[in-house]
Structure 1
Amino acid sequence: MHTHRHLAYRPDIDGLRAIAILAVIVFHAYPRSLPGGFVGVDVFFVISGYLIGGIIFRNLDAGSFSLTDFYARRARRIFPALITVLLGGLAFGWFALLADEYQALGKHVAAGAGFVSNLVLWRESGYFDTAAEFKPLLHLWSLGIEEQFYLVYPLLMALLWRLRANPAYTLLTLAVVSFGGNLYLVHSDAASAFFLPFTRFWELLGGSTLAYVHFRRATAKPLTSTRHQLQAVAGMLLLAAAVFVLDKDKDFPGAWALLPTLGALLLIGAGQGTWVNRRLLASRPMVFIGVISYPLYLWHWLLLSFGLILRSGEPLHHRAAVLVAAALLLAWLTFRYVERPLRFGAPELQRVKLLALWSLLACAGLLGLTVYRADGLPERPALADVRLKIDRDPPRLAADGYRSNGIAKELFQGKFRPGEDFFQLGDLPKDQPLTAVIGDSHGNMLYQGLATATARPETVINLGRGSCLPFVGVDTIRKNGRSASCQPFVGNAIDFIARTPEITTVIIAAYYKQYLDGGMTLRRTQTGESPGAAGLFRIGLSDTLERLLRANKFVILSLDNPDMDRTVMTACYSLLRPLLPRSPDSGCQIPRSVHERDQALARGLIEEAAARFPDKVRLFDPATVLCDAQYCYAYHKADLIYRFDGNHLTVKGAVRVAERLLAHPDGIRTFARAP
């Protein structure tokens, strides 16, 4: 019976693991060198499906399969390194991370301990989501998918075996359905296709199907025919094509995921006797890396991500090699002194070890949850000497439930995008003057400031959409060539304002620079010759003002806030780091002359339009509160007032601007004197 419990050891599969982990590491450390290295995870899925599937089939055939035994072996295999990395991340984060970063880490520790990281990351994808490089446990999404697969797969195989059904048909059918779901979602909802388990199960099912084929054929001796030699070469070529041809801009997984999946299946299926498998994959260095590939996978991204966080997103360059070397050392130490002692040893101690592992994983998850619930422990001693604080007030975004609001139905016409669309959350107040803000995400942030700064937030409404210049007759095109779907929404919003007598004041605010310097491409909604970005900007603004002024609205044209570049924000964030204390003169500002030069074209076009209507249109310049005569600042007193992208204000930053706007002699009619 014991001879059926495990597959014969194949060192070439450890070598294939080495190729997978090395591809992932190079992609994370030096993404331009190996743009498709992320497909190493897909290779891991195939290997896992093959090895675990083979063990299950042999145990079922021998009559020795036990779910309890299966999950106990999975725990001994997965838990030791995972617990070590989770606790190590929490320990380092205590000293190195800011409160909001530590809170996010706690959330992901809890998700990792519960093997639901993929689902948490899927739900996090949105407008103000943290960049992937700032999530030290991002890579646990793949572990979540694997363990969700193994909650169902052993039960299904045991049932089919009891019914004496051929598992191959079921495995192939499920793989085809899963792959079809992946193809269906990848173009319409790429995040779902990537993170949801069912759209990735086909890769594990492919490996499991191959395991069943080998089990039925009882292939114990190495395969050395010419066909198998060519098959192994073809597998290597497919893997090479995947890591060198694919990149993060491709719709992945989609059909592209066939490259690494088929490559791995061909290599495993070729058998360990072929030249590629025997000489390359089964070589001692490759086997060594493959043996420690699991703890290496867990450690490498944790270290690289922490490095990027401490450098505020600046490239690591040579530091990446040092961190990878540290990950290799930690992986070997984890394998040698944590994983092996807990995974193997005297049988009479296995129950005690298993109970300890479950208890430690639960403790790690509870610690993470505690950190998350405690808002990242902002009062912990490590943060006592931090010079600046991040504004932790979250922006008030329109939630999905508000799509049924009457205004939303009218303006968005069923195409409301939670996280990108902003609007009045309730019905309009009656019999009192209202102010409407229209714009893109910069207008949305100004609305946050106005709604927070005034005692009567219900009298300020927001009718904006991210990445949309709020001018009629003009659409915006993203860098990927797709429309931002600004029209007919913008036109609907302008029409709604024009026919709503309660709305007396309109504020127009946007990230004008990106529409004039090529960050976004402007396109006319009507056919005809395009006069260029500046020409379309001038025409769109003029048409918008004329439509609003015909409806007797008072318009405030808000110029844009200063745009801080990445270097400035890196200097700012150094003031937030417990491990990198510096003084506020470290470059957390830009010369006002730079801001005025950057905004010169937009300002000229806006001033030109306002001059045509001197009695009905006013200009407002946020620089009056964000700058002095020499500099524009990304901080105020003890608060950082810019998000890390350097162009979006935080809520506190937007409140500072809004307070000046509300106090301006030509300010909002709702709150100040009308002209």
Structure 2
Amino acid sequence: MNGFRTDINGLRAWAVVAVVLFHFGVPGFDGGFIGVDVFFVISGFLMTGIILGKLLTPNRESSFSLLGFYLARARRIIPALMALCIALLILGWYFLPTYDYRMLATHVITALLFISNIKFWREAGYFDPASHEKLLLHTWSLSVEWQFYLLFPIVLMVLWKLWPNRRFIGVLLLAGFVISLGLSIAITRVNPGAAFYLLPTRAWEMLAGSLVYFYANQLRPAQGIARTLEIFGFTLILASILLFDGNTPWPGWQAMMPVLGTVMVLLASRSNSFLTGTIIAQWLGKASYSIYLWHWPLSVGLIYLELHGDWFATLMSLMLTLLLGWVSWRFVEQSIQRGLMSFRSSQQIILTGLLVLLIAIPALAVRINDGVEGRFKQEIEAIFAEAQNANPRRSECIGSVSTPTPGCTYGGDSLGVIVIGDSHAQSVIRSVENALPSKELHVLDWTISSCPTIFGIKHTGRDDGSCEDFFKKVYAESLQLDREIPMLIVNRISSYFEGPNEPDRAHEVPTPKRYISNPYQYRSESFYREMQQGIIDTACAFSEHRDVFMLRPIPELKLNVPRVMGRAALLGRETRVWISLEEYEQRHLVAWKAQDRAAEECGITMLDPRPYLCGDDRCWGDINGIPVYTDDDHLSERGGQLLTPLFRKMFE
């Protein structure tokens, strides 16, 4: 690969603009996340050119240095990433609560080790902070690329050493592409988090770029065809931005569209194109890495300040993104790269390692000290602390695919009540324990995250059957228990009917994620009827053997209560989080009707939390300035105890 490709640099500009505008919520860029896929293809093309351009040249095998390759990548990636991490750790000291600061410190370490994609994949659970709270979430793509950089040249060198045949290398590249693409399509269906974050399901995008480089000479188009090819390529990229959104399973087969578009632009190789050759495109392309690094924390900052969606704040943030990106590119990327290149390879390794340690050690100290408490006034700390005031046995006791047999107990030796449901049940279970008429009694915990208490319930895109199997086991085991023991059913039921109501998860609303018979593409009347009947049938089945109580829906406040209140307090403002009773009733109308029918048809007793959590025509997220939620919809231990008098009615 010879010379600087202005078309590739301009293509970088398109990619970074798409990603940035998507994350800032600019209308028309709902599929802007495909910019990362474009970057992956470009990286594969360039890295293959660096490696094979030397390996495949006669009598120049020794000219490729694996150490030199790694050092070049480190000089390119690490300095700007380090500068960002330093800035975030400093800002975090003044503005992040302990749990967020500890999370940031952890993510700094994983980003510098280039394993953040694995970390974010493993964090992708129900109780994990929303993605928009993670200041280094975007570093997952850097980790994927770095892992590719580590493995790819070794594989190519070994293969070339064993079988120095160009055709053989091409066949293996194609085989790797096909295998990775197949994995991506298959795993996106059953485990979208793994498919999104992990190298095996992303490698095909980089290998697509590798194949373009490998076969570029055979496929080089004539000038007229190249122009058409480029236009078609950009059409596919733009169509991807317009047609896809956050609700699109990704990467999967859909990612083939922007990847193919990028392949076409690379094959066209038009250095004088008006689409990529303008001064603006070239400037954006050169600074694209630093722009990418800085845009996401600024987007998170808008959410922190409750300004996400404000057009003026968004415009200012976009301008600041460009400014910080330019400063980082000019004074960090270029300056440090030049400085490091003046040293020998061994010295570069030592210097880079020392610089990484300079950041990693403070980050590790923050992590070890659990985010360093005491940085804020006591009243502010108390607000933030409520986010962690959840059931301390939650992780131990809530069911999952890996917990085939349910059954934690809270209290004494004798069974007093069975609690069944999802994470909302888990959040009130200790309040139920406090409502028991005797300390000798205990609560039996049969809860599983993200699964409504409905027989036969399934999750779209998952084939593990965890929800369905869990409730089969629960029902079978319940038949073995004393019929005098009451049962309490608690679910975030309207979330399964209507989808989440948090503003940042609006893209998840159109397509139902749960079903009984067949998946639904939208929330039709038949979907509502089937889900309502599922609630009724399940509750009635349990009620044949014991008294069954069902908690009406807990108010969902849309915003993370401790974070919103705590951040407002940090900025010297007072704020309260609430929804109107009218909003509450509208949100839960469909679920309420199903619960009413269960009460009428099976004698289920309903427990209404509104008198304990609502007043003055509003449902509140705090009492006397202290939150009663850990997030937007889960009651904290403080909030759960407000319902203890309500739960005592089960034992009257």
Global fold match (TM > 0.5): yes
Describe the SS at the equivalent of 1:247: coil
Describe the SS at the equivalent of 1:344: helix
Corresponding residue of 1:660:
645
Residue 165 of structure 2 is aligned to residue 165 of structure 1: yes
Deviation at 1:137, TM superposition (A): 1.0
Q: Distance in 1 between matches of 2:158 and 2:81?
A: 31
Describe the SS at the equivalent of 1:460: strand
- Classify 1:169/1:495 alpha carbon distance in 2 versus 1 (closer, same or farther; 3 Å): closer
Structure 2 spans left out of the alignment, 5+ residues: 501-511, 519-523
Describe the SS at the equivalent of 1:280: coil
Corresponding residue of 2:329:
335
Describe the SS at the equivalent of 2:33: helix
Q: Distance in 2 between matches of 1:488 and 1:155?
A: 44
Partner letter of residue 577 of structure 2? C
Corresponding residue of 2:311:
317
Q: Distance in 1 between matches of 2:427 and 2:190?
A: 28
Corresponding residue of 1:192:
194
Partner letter of residue 323 of structure 2? L
Backbone CA RMSD of aligned residues:
4.0
Question: Contact 2:419/2:489 (CA < 8 Å) preserved in 1?
Answer: yes
Say which of 155, 165, 181 aligns to 1:179: 181
Matches within 5 A, 1:454-603: 459-466=442-449, 468-470=451-453, 487=468, 489-490=470-471, 492-501=473-482, 504-513=485-494, 547-548=541-542, 550-551=544-545, 553-566=546-559, 573-577=564-568, 579-583=570-574, 586-590=575-579
Q: Distance in 1 between matches of 2:15 and 2:185?
A: 23
Matches within 5 A, 1:123-522: 123-163=122-162, 164-166=164-166, 167-214=169-216, 224-273=222-271, 277-311=272-306, 314-345=308-339, 348-349=342-343, 355-381=350-376, 385=380, 388-389=383-384, 390-395=386-391, 417=401, 423-425=406-408, 432-450=414-432, 459-466=442-449, 468-470=451-453, 487=468, 489-490=470-471, 492-501=473-482, 504-513=485-494
Corresponding residue of 1:413:
none
Q: Distance in 2 between matches of 1:379 and 1:238?
A: 52
Q: Distance in 2 between matches of 1:521 and 1:358?
A: 46
Partner letter of residue 635 of structure 1? D
Q: Distance in 1 between matches of 2:46 and 2:527?
A: 57
Aligned sequence identity (%): 28
Residue deviations 1:375-418 (CA, integer Å, cap 9, x gap): 22231247775672333145567769x99xxxx8xxxxxxx535
Partner letter of residue 159 of structure 1? V
Describe the SS at the equivalent of 1:272: coil
Partner letter of residue 212 of structure 1? F
Question: Contact 2:75/2:340 (CA < 8 Å) preserved in 1?
Answer: no
Question: Contact 1:386/1:581 (CA < 8 Å) preserved in 2?
Answer: no
Question: Contact 2:101/2:371 (CA < 8 Å) preserved in 1?
Answer: yes
Partner letter of residue 305 of structure 1? V
- Classify 1:491/1:326 alpha carbon distance in 2 versus 1 (closer, same or farther; 3 Å): same
Question: Contact 2:581/2:617 (CA < 8 Å) preserved in 1?
Answer: yes
Say which of 600, 605, 620 aligns to 1:633: 620
Question: Contact 2:549/2:605 (CA < 8 Å) preserved in 1?
Answer: yes
Question: Contact 1:20/1:44 (CA < 8 Å) preserved in 2?
Answer: yes
Q: Distance in 2 between matches of 1:363 and 1:256?
A: 42
- The worse-fitting range, judged by mean Cα deviation, of 22-31 and 456-465 is 456-465
TM-score (norm 2): 0.83
Q: Distance in 1 between matches of 2:405 and 2:578?
A: 30
- The worse-fitting range, judged by mean Cα deviation, of 571-580 and 16-25 is 571-580
Residue 16 of structure 2 is aligned to residue 16 of structure 1: no
Describe the SS at the equivalent of 1:234: helix
Corresponding residue of 1:83:
82
- Classify 1:383/1:205 alpha carbon distance in 2 versus 1 (closer, same or farther; 3 Å): farther
Structure 1 spans left out of the alignment, 5+ residues: 1-5, 409-415, 669-674
TM-score (norm 1): 0.81
Corresponding residue of 2:509:
none
Residue deviations 1:466-520 (CA, integer Å, cap 9, x gap): 5555366xx6688999999865754653453243128712112233555777887
Describe the SS at the equivalent of 1:434: strand
Deviation at 1:7, TM superposition (A): 2.8
Describe the SS at the equivalent of 1:305: helix
Q: Distance in 2 between matches of 1:209 and 1:521?
A: 37
Partner letter of residue 417 of structure 1? V
Corresponding residue of 1:41:
36
Question: Contact 2:81/2:293 (CA < 8 Å) preserved in 1?
Answer: yes
Q: Distance in 1 between matches of 2:43 and 2:530?
A: 55
Partner letter of residue 636 of structure 1? I
Q: Distance in 1 between matches of 2:18 and 2:145?
A: 19
Residue deviations 1:65-85 (CA, integer Å, cap 9, x gap): 212211111111111111011
Question: Contact 2:630/2:636 (CA < 8 Å) preserved in 1?
Answer: yes
Q: Report how many aligned residue pairs link the two structures.
A: 626
Q: Distance in 2 between matches of 1:218 and 1:52?
A: 19
Describe the SS at the equivalent of 2:481: coil
- Structure possessing the higher radius of gyration over alpha carbons: 1
- Classify 1:132/1:524 alpha carbon distance in 2 versus 1 (closer, same or farther; 3 Å): closer
Describe the SS at the equivalent of 2:414: coil
